[in-house]
Amino acid sequence: MTTLSAPRSDASHLFSAPVIVAALGYFVDIYDLLLFGIVRLPSLASLGLNDTEISLTGASILNWQMTGLLLGGILWGVLGDKKGRLSVLFGSILTYSLANIACGFVQDADTYKVLRFIAGVGLAGELGAGITLVSEILPKHLRAIGTSLVAGIGLLGAVVAYFTVEYFSWRYAYFIGGGLGISLLLLRLGVFESGIFKDLKNQEHVQKGNFFSLFTNKNRLSRYLKCIGIGLPTWFVIGILSTFSNEFGSALGITEPVKPGLSIMWCYVGLSIGDLCSGFLSHWLKSRKKAVLYLMIFTLLFSGVFLYAGINNVSQLYTVAGLLGFGIGYWAMFVTIGAEQFGTNLRATAATTIPNMVRGTVVLMTTLFAAFKDSFSVINSGALVGLICFAIGLFCIITIPETHGRDLDFLEE
């Protein structure tokens, strides 16, 4: 007599090995992604650079890392669709873990640039591959909650990175990040590949991972650009309001020194909570678009509070930074939308390149912010950059196709 196995519970799906390992992978990814920004001053000072050199070299190293993210996003995205989601999860974490360990031994700025570029290439693959794998493995009614768990847990890596640097030297902080990544590789040995991708792998006639095909079809290009546009407000909050919070603090007349690193940390605390909530909100509303739209409007309102409500002390500023972080907690939902918009043969390419394209727009935002400051106040310059980002973001989320409950077993022709 044959016995039928009981159907798996929702909890067993959500706390399965792929979800847990993807969450831990993103945790390490965020730790390493933000680490240079946190150790920039002490690490460059210890290499013998003066204040002017630290400013110029620090910006250059950050640009090298961001360039690595952009190129790595394309590389890992294509590999994810050609070779599998797991190959990217293994390859990317090995790349950035070894690069981070090497950063702990660095003795000159030029080597530092190359190592942060390599780390950037590695860091580009983690989130997109993890979200793609989790989206394809989980039942469709649990996708939003599962991907939110990945991002919500993962984003706490920013908090751990901040306190690691507070208690250890910058070199040890790099060693810890690299060690965490190598340890995670052992956990990943038990993770299985997406069944949807396995089915695709056997279809030799299907073109897989063609990055340029995102630009050769009008409808596909529109979906791709709208996915990128949805993410712009998230990095306006992180890359402008939080990163330059010391400048905004001075412009607001706050007498106490504002620490950008602390603003970013509180922003990521809020972001982690918001990411966890956004999945449940999407599940409750039965809509990705409504969940993102409501959180984007929340972020817009608190951006106005940050800039124009008359904040007069650091406690208020850090509190609003946390609320802004909560608002941009649709980050996981934004990446999930990117994965759900595209067929299996292009899904990893899209889901991996989209968040890295958004990260790359920070260069444009900071350039605009600097240019506006020639004619406007710091407050108004920030507001103008924000106005552009939110206008694009709101248009994109309103007009992009809804993907809640979509069956992901389809191909891009």
Question: Given this model, what pLDDT does residue 193 score?
Answer: 57
Asked if residues 317 and 311 have their Cβ atoms less than 8 Å apart, the reply is: yes
At residue 286, does pLDDT exceed 60?
yes
Annotation: CATH topology of 215-413: Growth Hormone; Chain: A; (1.20.1250)
User: Which of the listed CATH numbers 3.20.20.70, 3.40.50.2020, 1.20.1250.20, 3.30.450.40 matches domain 13-193?
Assistant: 1.20.1250.20
Give the pLDDT confidence of 56-71 residue by residue, as tens digits.
888 788 888 888 988 9
Q: How confident is the model at residue 154 (pLDDT cuts 50, 70, 90)?
A: confident
Q: How confident is the model at residue 2 (pLDDT cuts 50, 70, 90)?
A: very low
At residue 229, does pLDDT exceed 80?
yes
Asked if residues 316 and 399 have their Cβ atoms less than 8 Å apart, the reply is: no
Tokens of 405: 């409950």
Give the pLDDT confidence of 320-361 residue by residue, as tens digits.
999 999 999 998 889 889 889 998 788 888 888 998 899 888
Q: What is the mean pLDDT of residues 368-379?
A: 92
The better pLDDT of the pair 409, 257 is held by 257
CA 154 to chain centre: 10
Q: What's the predicted TM-score (pTM) here?
A: 0.84
When mean pLDDT is compared across 1-15, 47-61, 140-154, 265-279, the lowest value belongs to: 1-15
User: Where does the chain hold its CATH 1.20.1250.20 domain(s)?
Assistant: 13-193, 215-413
- Reference 141, options 384, 411, 324, 408; nearest CA is 408
**Where is mean pLDDT largest: 73-82, 207-216, 296-305?**
296-305
Question: Given this model, what pLDDT does residue 140 score?
Answer: 83
Q: Which class for 42: exposed (0-12), middle (13-18), buried (19 or more C-beta within 10 A)?
A: middle
